[in-house]
Amino acid sequence: MEWLKGTHPVRPMRPNVGVKPLTPLKAAGIPVVDALGVIAGEMRDIVRQPTAKGEMSGELTRRLPDPYLRWCRVCEATHPYEQPFRLSALQAGLELEPGTSPPVLHRIRGWRGRTKRVPARLDPVRGVLRFLGPSTPKLVAGYVDSPVKEIAARWPEDVVQVEVGGQRLDVLADDVDALTGGEPAKEVRLLGPFDLFLQGRDRELVLPDEAARKDLWRTIGRPGAVLRGHEVVGSWRPRSSGKKLRIAVTAYSGKSAPKAVAVQAERLAAFRGQTFDGFVDE
């Protein structure tokens, strides 16, 4: 989260760059959950109308006592710790206005407070099921980095069980027709290395071949995916030289679609202000 210089008060403090937010809160005898509630309450009070994030953050800094704050050498300013700031925003019932720069926060319509049920469109469990498809509490927990029991306790009631790759998974009832109806898609797409399609924890279903998974989900230098319909058929990497873009493609199990990939590569090159100059070997 970027912080805007000049919007935060310069409060003399002992530099604590790199200190985890739990340390000063614990030292001050403030439970973490209580701290999040305090921050959320102040954020909610500040954003009574659409408010620039930097303005809201600056006012929040003026209101919070020292255990909640840190001196940031990069911003050259004092501001709240990043994670409590992020986590408290939803608890405060705030969201970003699309297309705003600098970003603007406003109150979520229909928000009834943290003691009430989160609106369905903001429920993270439903969000994973909606955007990543059929899943289980264990897979969703792995994606959102949460204990499985927490996800299971919040599992939607309106799910339908389906079979995918021999596994029984749950999907939102409203999404069943979209997943099972019509002809399978055949379009070829070049997905970026961190495209949402590749971010789920059901990698064995997305790509059954173990060697292919090792190529696609590398820790360092991760490539993009060549998607044909719903099937990952290869990986790709850009090779740029000035105004020219070339593509290196690794096909899995001999599956390739060079003509279709070339069409997508031309689109990518045009987006980058380049010209597609063909394929290269790895």
Report if pTM > 0.75.
no
| CATH assignment, 123-180 | 1.10.10
Per mean pLDDT, which range of 11-15, 45-49, 157-161, 272-276 is the poorest? Answer: 11-15
Helix ranges (H only) for the chain are 22-27, 32-46, 53-63, 82-91, 124-132, 137-144, 148-153, 176-180, 203-206, 210-216, 258-271
| CATH assignment, 188-280 | 3.40.630
206-242: pLDDT as tens digits: 999 999 999 999 989 999 999 998 899 999 999 988 9
**Cα distance between residue 7 and residue 268, in whole Å:** 38
Per mean pLDDT, which range of 107-116, 137-146, 154-163, 172-181 is the poorest? Answer: 107-116
Peptide bond into 208 cis (omega under 30): no
**Cα distance between residue 125 and residue 115, in whole Å:** 18
Token pair 């399978």: residue: 184
